[in-house]
Structure 1
């Protein structure tokens, strides 16, 4: 089965869901990832659960372009998490035929985080959605080993670890930790590159992750060693935001370059 390549929201941030889907089809992606909820207060998002016309336009774009929705962003498990707030989000995910929900864990109360994650998994399952827990070095789920431990404790069939190459490198996670992951704990992985060593201050880590990633092969992250350990059929989310180069080249050219670099590196292994 051919590997799925999905266009991440951040790689073309600013395009509406229908625009993203049309662009993805033009340059050769199989799917897209849509941000329906902001990652920060006031951040960019397209709340399809609240905008019926945009939801209809998105469904039309899917049908006309043959490009589906792979993942939805973002559910944040923090100390203010309330599952009921996310039920319309999950319902839209089912309507769109999405496969995954990106989950950020950022609650210092570990027991509460695990309980809320389990509840989210149970709520997402009827809609055919996995709940993919992404580790990020500036959150309370800061590394691969932490995310793995939480997924193990939750023990839900749709609880998985979301692997991001940049976060793997900057959280100082180990290849041995990746080797130890059961196959069914992996649903997709995000690819990009960056300088090594990278920033160590959290504020700069966050800025670089959102605004200044490099094309696969341009930086020092050992993507070859990583992807040799990942399943050959694992879907790939191409998440390569670079505000400067997107402004200079345009969203279509940048999305095309990011796909070519990602596919070239992975399929050349």
Structure 2
């Protein structure tokens, strides 16, 4: 059976434990959470290295039956040190999770390859895979660039997060997935979006708050689903600006209901 996973970005800024609670109430089987801020200097609470927070997440996940699918942590930047990520790896393993999302900014390719090689080696000790998220406004802008990094890193536990929004906005199309190893697609984030970034909204803002429910936009969602591996996990990351004032519970329920209906219409009935 395929899990339907709720992406934390869909809900706004709420604690990770509440993401699990909201996901369970809406009917999701799993959720992605954020373990740290985007950088070491963020004021956002850090779960990694916090035994109390980790225990609360462990207990909540078990009690609600909501699996922690993946975790997001610090962006990789020129000043990043592998030591900063060791508490993240430990926390991820303690939470029973096997995927960490990785995005990079302003790092030279040769440095980035070396970093990913060491990061993957450390992660492999915990049975964790590194899912590179390419983003057109980041240092890894396209699927092709991500594939190059994966190949140069040369580690079996480095692969891809395929985000429908980022694929489209970086100029990619679903058939591009046929050029990469399907076993390296660790999960996919599904959403819809307008044909172009709305006037008055930059790309980062659109990515973090201006996506659309499935069927409301112009992305080739059905084509993407056809080109993804049959059993790949689908995470629904759908922050919708017109619904920003709704409660997290209401947002999650709309996403679950709209997503279930859309996928049922395509013959996808698992959850």
| TM-score in same-fold range (> 0.5) | yes
For residue 4 of structure 1, what is the aligned residue in structure 2?
3
Q: How far apart are the structure 1 equivalents of 2:135 and 2:254?
A: 26
Given that 2:211 and 2:241 are in contact with CA atoms closer than 8 Å, whether structure 1 keeps it comes out as: no
Cα shift readout 1:127-183 (whole Å, capped 9, x = no counterpart): 221100010001121011111111122121111111100001100013332111211
For residue 62 of structure 1, what is the aligned residue in structure 2?
61
For residue 34 of structure 2, what is the aligned residue in structure 1?
35
1:69 Cα shift?
Answer: 0.6
For residue 263 of structure 1, what is the aligned residue in structure 2?
260
1:49 Cα shift?
Answer: 2.1
Cα shift readout 1:201-248 (whole Å, capped 9, x = no counterpart): 9x700011111111111100010111111112110111111244031x
Given that 1:99 and 1:130 are in contact with CA atoms closer than 8 Å, whether structure 2 keeps it comes out as: yes
Q: Aligned-pair RMSD on alpha carbons?
A: 2.0
What runs of 5+ residues in structure 1 fail to find an aligned partner?
A: none
Q: How far apart are the structure 1 equivalents of 2:160 and 2:174?
A: 15
What runs of 5+ residues in structure 2 fail to find an aligned partner?
A: 267-271
For residue 73 of structure 2, what is the aligned residue in structure 1?
74
1:81 Cα shift?
Answer: 1.6
Matches within 5 A, 1:240-251: 240-247=238-245, 249-251=246-248
1:120 Cα shift?
Answer: 0.9
Given that 2:37 and 2:74 are in contact with CA atoms closer than 8 Å, whether structure 1 keeps it comes out as: no
Matches within 5 A, 1:137-176: 137-176=136-175
Partner of 1:78, secondary structure, is coil
Q: How far apart are the structure 1 equivalents of 2:220 and 2:59?
A: 40
Q: How far apart are the structure 1 equivalents of 2:196 and 2:12?
A: 26
Q: How far apart are the structure 2 equivalents of 1:151 and 1:199?
A: 32
Aligned CA distance change for structure 1 residues 262 and 181 (closer, same or farther; 3 Å)? farther
Q: How far apart are the structure 1 equivalents of 2:5 and 2:244?
A: 18
Aligned CA distance change for structure 1 residues 199 and 136 (closer, same or farther; 3 Å)? farther
For residue 134 of structure 1, what is the aligned residue in structure 2?
133
Q: How far apart are the structure 2 equivalents of 1:21 and 1:27?
A: 10
Partner of 1:92, secondary structure, is helix
Relative to the length of structure 2, the TM-score reads: 0.91
